[in-house]
Structure formats: structure tokens, C-alpha cells
Amino acid sequence: MDGQGSDGRALGTRRALLTAAAGSAAALVATAAMPLTAVAADPDDVVKGVDNPTTATTSITDSGADSTAFAGQATGTGYGYGLLGTSAGGGGIVGWSVSAPDPGWFLPEYTSYTGVFGSAPTHPDPDIWATGVWGDSPDIGVLGTGGNGVIGYGYVGVEGDANINAGSIGVWAWAPSTAQLALKVTGKVQFSRSGRQSMSKGKSILTKSLAGVTASSKVFAVLATSESGRWVRAVVPATGKFTVYLNTTLTSSAVVSWFVLD
């Protein structure tokens, strides 16, 4: 009797444990099957695929090394934009590198009617240029169109640099026909391949060395001082130099002004 009772109690206990375990497993399976969206959504979350109206700045701060805070990629067919910025009052897109523009001169309202505004402070290395906006292409790096295609304002308003290839051109001014002007200058003009050279009394020939001059260069020269009965008879270019010939020798020292093309 005692042995049978002990076995009966043991059997009942095992059945209870198995029943409890089965119930726990079923509950676990049911929980796992529940959708993950059961957590309440934050109404302030940004939602993909729809407009997200807001009355304050929405920002993303990324402190990862060499990582990008925000990337826009339009990979579908057609002509969608990777990034679109619009503004009813200020600049459509405003970007700065390293440090923000000096508030002593920069105010947001200054960017009104500006599609893109870029700013960067002076680079600490004098051999490296800081750039507010950099455009690069094997064709045209930056294209400006409009009433004035490009306006440059500064100590040097516009600078054009030729690359290292022979025949490269720093600035090319072009007009499609003689009805237009390729170049118009208001104010003084200075050319590095021009100058003034003294001639001594009793001389009638002046030779000037100048790199880049060839036999086909166009060289102009005139007397810049009043020398009665004397004038420039000819200017003959040669490799690396040109020679100015007067009609006769000078009775006093004189100055010749010269200008080289090509």
C-alpha cells in the first residue's frame, strides 16, 4: 500500500510538471508569433514615403569616424534628385565646412534668393585653397548661366589657372561672331609680358630677353620719351628675345615701351 501510494504520488507529480511545461511552451510560442509592431509608435518618429510636417528643426548628429551623417540616393529610373532643398525665404541649401560663417558678417537673410550657399574658412596651409563650393567634371566643373553667367567679387574677383599640359588656357573669352564682344574691360589692364626698357645715349639697338618669345611672336614697341628725329624702325622677335631697332642713334638716353603677344 505504502509503495503503491508513493508511486502514485510520483506519477501525479510528473504529470503535473509535464502539463506545466507544455503550457509554458505554448505561451512562449504564442508570444513569439506576436507582431513586433505591438510596441506603440512614437508620433514624432520620421516616417518613410510620406511628408513629415514639423515646426522645428529636425537634425541628425553622427559622431562616427569617417561616416556620413545623411546620404540621399535616388536609384530609380527617371530624373529624381539625390537631395532636394527648398526654402521660402533663405537659401535652398546652406553648407559649411570646418566652421560656420562668421556671424559678424553672415546672416541667414543674406542667403535669400540663393539656391546653394557654401562657406569655408581659410585653410591653415597657405598652399591649399579652402573652397566654399567645389565643382568637378572632365567637362565643365562649374557652369553659370543667366544675365551674368558668373560674377566674382573679392581681392581677386575671378582667377583662371591653366593646368600643366602644354597649350592649356587659363581663361578663354569667346564670341560666336563679330557681332559680339569676346572681351570687354572697364578700367586699367596690366600684362606681365609688357614693360619699359631704358636705352643709353649713342645706342640704336635694344635687345630684350623674355622667356616664351618665338620668331612668330607679335611684339610692339614705341619710344616713351621725346627724341627728336628718332623712332622705332623695326621690332624683330627670336627665340627667347626680341630686338628693337631705331632709325638712328640716340643723342640722349631714352625709354622704350614694349608689349608681346603669343
Residue 61 lies in a domain: no
pTM above 0.95, yes or no: no
DSSP state of 121: P
**What's the first-to-final CA gap in the chain, in angstroms?**
127
* Domain that residue 115 falls in: 87-135
Residue 13 lies in a domain: no
| DSSP secondary structure string for all residues of 21-75 | HHHHHHHHHHHHHS-GGGSPPPTTS--TTS----SS-------STT--S------
Distances (CA, A) of 93 to 22, 102, 107, 115, 119: 61, 18, 14, 6, 11
Q: Which of 44-48, 50-54, 133-137, 206-210 is predicted with the least confidence, judged by mean pLDDT?
A: 44-48
Answer yes or no: is pLDDT of 203 > 80: yes
Residue 62 lies in a domain: no
138: amino acid identity, one letter: P
Residue 223 lies in a domain: yes
Q: How many domains does the chain have?
A: 2
The alpha-helical segments, DSSP class H, found in the chain are: 2-33
Residue 152 lies in a domain: no
Handedness of CA 46, 52, 55, 60 (dihedral sign): positive
Residue-wise pLDDT for 48-95, tens only, equals 999 999 999 999 999 999 999 999 999 999 999 999 999 999 999 999
Q: Identify the residue whose cell numbers are 573669352.
A: 173
Answer yes or no: is pLDDT of 27 > 70: no
Answer yes or no: is pLDDT of 36 > 90: no
Residue 78 lies in a domain: no
3-class DSSP string for 222-235: EECCCCCCCCEEEE
